[in-house]
Structure 1
């Protein structure tokens, strides 16, 4: 008993040791009584005390470190002795489950798992010679090769390969796992590869040294032990994110946790557990068992709550159930929020019913309004169709009006081929009556008669197409063709009025998507207005025609096709410019005032624009633009600047001889 008191008193006179001195004395007395009672009973020899020891570096290392401790216990129990059972983590679980051992000496994390799973209880905690001021000495050391400058802290582990001993190894993985989580690294998701080498842990250091893994996870102080044994060169390694806990002389990368506990199984007799505790507490600091194990003795069980906190954060060990939370668990833990959610759902249901009722009412109102709107739309469509029909009628009437005004000119156009046919026919008759006909001459005459007849037929066909009432037919075409067709219809009026029509047509125009007859109507109306505007202009001397209508086509800067019709007439007044396109407004004494209004309507229906400007040389220039049917296939003519409103058209004497 004196030895027990001296042993506890040597622990720096701590209050805890002073408190435990009488308690330990009582335990020692009870143990002695138990032993003496057992000896007096002279019963059959009891089996040896079996202690399962975690062999984290293999069986040989476990024997070297812990066998002296087991021999110490055997010496304290000469009647039954003691034996060590080296186990790995899975073997430790099996031994405790099958109760093939009486005590277990394992790492901190494994103890917490066995405690929660099988109800083992710690009875003492190892006091390591390396322990810091807090008494904790278990942690993890993350090592890299000393020449790896690309890995400086835990945040650099993303995308790297990491090697540990076992997923259930406390100092060999779980403590490091917790630190990685704090650094924002999930080892099961963010690493390139997470490997486990199993026991012994020595091979982890060798794998890092040989470049087989970027980072290794070791139990704290293992790196120093390997260096002391001469198995590694410590200069080849660097500790990642090193820490310096007070009083702890090993390199570590994590927090420290309580050292290994000695725990008894639930089936181990309490009397035996007390006797073992007393024996361990009485071990001197310089005992060979303590020196072999690298500790200075045993102390009362430390607080293992930090281990529980770590396991709860990682959801492992006894807290693995947190990964599979049941609905009942959620209800128990968050019933306030669930109740609030139920109230919200109830309110939402009532609100939904109210909204649904309002929707039905609003839907009925909308149906009624929709029927009324459909009726109004149908009436509007009918009104628009009637307006389009009236517009078509107005276009048709306008074309007939134009032809009516040009009737004499058209008669003149037709008289020419008809007169030529009559002359050719009389000449042929005279030759036949005189008997002087030459077959070759007759062939030429009959060909000329056919050409003149075809010419008259084309004039009549153009007139018929122009006055025919039909629906618009859009097709891609060259606007120059429309210009030629319109000029052919008004050439007679120009000749009778001693006027000339000059064409300056660009050769690189893109096609436009238009109705040919409508665009011809626009050009014809603009040319006719130009001829009428110059009717009172005095002709030049010696038969020279100064009444010239210039028609010019080009491309503007936006790639559109522009048509300009210029005259040398009296021009427009300010009032006429403001009302030029109003229906029924005209500057002619006998005009209807619909021509330009219809022309603008046609041009705008084709996506274009019609406007009037003054001709710098006197008169007016009427211009309109039409969008191209597709991308331009040739560059813009550099001399054309159709977007300049006041620029006069370029006039070239390219007279049309199709008369």
Structure 2
């Protein structure tokens, strides 16, 4: 560009262009950003455009005042040849439409570096509650336009540096639109707490006599060498003159030469407030600003891709992948163990069924050898044994099946956890042991062995039995309420048999309420001490109640009111209670339904002491 400053070469180029120009060629059209409105733009830049018209008499030149959207539309439509706009708008036009800067304005107020574009944040002088940019949180701030470089974007970066995000931390962020004068008047009149201006606008308005600068205060003021306007931010290169990609290179060179030859005291320079034109400055600081704000050509940085996330968080993703792999291996191992345990349980069940079948065959062979007078007795023993076995094994085997199905569903859904799985397998083992205990007691009954009586807490037996009914109660929408006395003494009994009694009574109560409307009071299990010093258990339902026939035959073997029922449950319950020295009976519930009650004697001190010695 130094060679272009030589007067002889510059004059030759201008003369050459003037010689080849034709009168029919259209005038040179210069789009100018009218940041303070069309009148101000005409006053400031019309002399510069007239200067170009004088240098190109064969074509002439004309100015086109534009706002930011209009500037973009004009460049896209190629309805202008050159643009004279703010620094930020140029960077966007460069990235979007390929415009190229050919000269930079040298403002009369520029600093030593030639930079002259910055922002100033102003408040009213009497606003003592706002002293710094950081005080703007929760305030109303006005700027001219989100795409205005000095009028917002430079101040945006300054606010972020002060810890204030204008899009999140302000009470309201308003944009007045061009001209920028509206921002000053809004702050002065109390329409906004603070305003963002391009540097030197406040001084221009004061010079025009439109505002009193003493009524305003600058937030976080700073100075720049050679720059005499109020400032709140860093300075950036001044406005560039750029040519469109469709503008002929020869014309661009001639325009540059003409502008470089303009004297510093030319009326056009004085009207525009500049001292001349210089070679294009470095606009990398503007790119760095836009990159930090993720705007303009760097708007794509706001869109974070999966690759970006993986690159930034690869360590945690690797840990997650290892954890997922461990979980998958652990799940496969647990599933294998479940299958093995299930197969073992099935084999045990088959052995049990086979043992039962063998026992039946042995008993049938023995019956054939007995006389007719023993036939009825043996048949009764066999029937009682089979009925007890079938009835009592129904609950633990059903519980085992339910736990196994629940475990299978969790495995299939992939939601199983080791703690849950351990709990389920322990429950299956407990129920299997329970079934084994029942079988052992049935065997003892056949051999006429006594039940194992020991001091036990009746409340514990009630809780254990009702737990087995909770799943069915929830599915039927029938709540089970436990009202258990805290001061119950222990009773002497067989825990499994007492639990079976409670289980049968609660199950019958749930059966009685299946056809009742939902939402009514459910089943209540209550324990207390009666007046005779015994412990009482009462199971209350709000079902259909007892008919006269049912009340008369309630405890008869094989009598039932349920389709498919065996009619042995209450008979067995009464046998168990009476074998423990207690009594089982039924009464009507005054509120509808029935109440099944049984009482058991309290364990004596001697019985408790003997059990403790045995345990020791």
Shared fold by TM > 0.5?
A: yes
Residue 376 (structure 1) aligns with: 433
Whole-Å separation in 1 of the counterparts to 2:39 and 2:253: 29
Whole-Å separation in 2 of the counterparts to 1:289 and 1:141: 27
Tell me, yes or no, if the aligned pair for 1:164 and 1:204 is still in contact at 8 Å. yes
Residue 39 (structure 2) aligns with: 60
CA deviation after TM superposition for structure 1 residue 218, in Å: 0.6
Residue 266 (structure 1) aligns with: 245
Whole-Å separation in 1 of the counterparts to 2:429 and 2:309: 55
CA deviation after TM superposition for structure 1 residue 286, in Å: 1.5
With normalisation by structure 1, the TM-score equals 0.53
With normalisation by structure 2, the TM-score equals 0.57
* Equivalent runs, 1:262-341 vs 2, <5 Å: 262-325=241-304, 327=305, 331=307
Is the alpha carbon distance of 1:254 and 1:387 closer, same or farther for their aligned partners in structure 2, counting shifts above 3 Å?
farther
Confirm whether residue 194 of structure 1 aligns to residue 157 of structure 2: no
Tell me, yes or no, if the aligned pair for 2:124 and 2:188 is still in contact at 8 Å. yes
Is the alpha carbon distance of 1:383 and 1:389 closer, same or farther for their aligned partners in structure 2, counting shifts above 3 Å?
farther
CA deviation after TM superposition for structure 1 residue 225, in Å: 1.2
Residue 529 (structure 1) aligns with: none
Residue 551 (structure 1) aligns with: none
- SS of residue in 1 equivalent to 2:253: helix
CA deviation after TM superposition for structure 1 residue 75, in Å: 2.0
Tell me, yes or no, if the aligned pair for 2:18 and 2:57 is still in contact at 8 Å. no
Aligned residues: 394
Residue 515 (structure 1) aligns with: 529
User: How big is each residue's C-alpha offset from its partner over 1:299-343, in whole Å with a ceiling of 9 and x where there is no partner?
Assistant: 110111111111122222122223345x5xx54x67867998997
Residue 248 (structure 1) aligns with: 227
1:360 pairs with 335, 342, 345, which one? Answer: 335
Residue 201 (structure 2) aligns with: 222
Is the alpha carbon distance of 1:391 and 1:110 closer, same or farther for their aligned partners in structure 2, counting shifts above 3 Å?
closer
Is the alpha carbon distance of 1:126 and 1:387 closer, same or farther for their aligned partners in structure 2, counting shifts above 3 Å?
farther
* Equivalent runs, 1:550-589 vs 2, <5 Å: none
Confirm whether residue 122 of structure 1 aligns to residue 101 of structure 2: yes
CA deviation after TM superposition for structure 1 residue 276, in Å: 1.0
User: How big is each residue's C-alpha offset from its partner over 1:586-639, in whole Å with a ceiling of 9 and x where there is no partner?
Assistant: xxxxxxxx96446999xxxxxxxxxxxxxxxxxxxxxxxxxxxxxxxxxxxxxx
Is the deviation greater in 195-204 or in 66-75? Answer: 66-75
Residue 3 (structure 2) aligns with: 22
Whole-Å separation in 1 of the counterparts to 2:484 and 2:317: 67
Whole-Å separation in 1 of the counterparts to 2:66 and 2:242: 15
User: How big is each residue's C-alpha offset from its partner over 1:95-154, in whole Å with a ceiling of 9 and x where there is no partner?
Assistant: 111111111110001111111111110000011111112211111111111111111222
- SS of residue in 1 equivalent to 2:115: coil
- SS of residue in 2 equivalent to 1:122: strand
Which structure: larger Rg?
Answer: 1
CA deviation after TM superposition for structure 1 residue 298, in Å: 0.8
- SS of residue in 1 equivalent to 2:170: coil
Residue 433 (structure 1) aligns with: none
CA deviation after TM superposition for structure 1 residue 172, in Å: 0.6
Is the alpha carbon distance of 1:596 and 1:34 closer, same or farther for their aligned partners in structure 2, counting shifts above 3 Å?
closer
CA deviation after TM superposition for structure 1 residue 246, in Å: 2.3
CA deviation after TM superposition for structure 1 residue 21, in Å: 2.9
Is the alpha carbon distance of 1:519 and 1:72 closer, same or farther for their aligned partners in structure 2, counting shifts above 3 Å?
same
Is the alpha carbon distance of 1:136 and 1:384 closer, same or farther for their aligned partners in structure 2, counting shifts above 3 Å?
farther
Tell me, yes or no, if the aligned pair for 2:22 and 2:59 is still in contact at 8 Å. no
* Equivalent runs, 1:509-658 vs 2, <5 Å: 514-517=528-531, 519=533, 596-597=605-606
User: How big is each residue's C-alpha offset from its partner over 1:260-286, in whole Å with a ceiling of 9 and x where there is no partner?
Assistant: 000011111111111111111111221
Tell me, yes or no, if the aligned pair for 1:31 and 1:271 is still in contact at 8 Å. no
CA deviation after TM superposition for structure 1 residue 355, in Å: 2.3
Is the alpha carbon distance of 1:302 and 1:390 closer, same or farther for their aligned partners in structure 2, counting shifts above 3 Å?
closer
Is the alpha carbon distance of 1:143 and 1:342 closer, same or farther for their aligned partners in structure 2, counting shifts above 3 Å?
closer
Is the deviation greater in 258-267 or in 80-89? Answer: 80-89
Tell me, yes or no, if the aligned pair for 1:31 and 1:274 is still in contact at 8 Å. no
User: How big is each residue's C-alpha offset from its partner over 1:392-427, in whole Å with a ceiling of 9 and x where there is no partner?
Assistant: 9xxxxxxxxxxxxxxxxxxxxxxxxxxxxxxxxxxx
Whole-Å separation in 2 of the counterparts to 1:372 and 1:337: 48
Is the alpha carbon distance of 1:239 and 1:343 closer, same or farther for their aligned partners in structure 2, counting shifts above 3 Å?
closer
- SS of residue in 2 equivalent to 1:62: helix
Is the alpha carbon distance of 1:61 and 1:359 closer, same or farther for their aligned partners in structure 2, counting shifts above 3 Å?
same
2:211 pairs with 224, 229, 232, which one? Answer: 232
Is the alpha carbon distance of 1:234 and 1:516 closer, same or farther for their aligned partners in structure 2, counting shifts above 3 Å?
same
- SS of residue in 2 equivalent to 1:177: helix
Whole-Å separation in 1 of the counterparts to 2:58 and 2:172: 53
CA RMSD in angstroms, aligned pairs only: 3.8
- SS of residue in 2 equivalent to 1:84: strand
- SS of residue in 2 equivalent to 1:144: strand
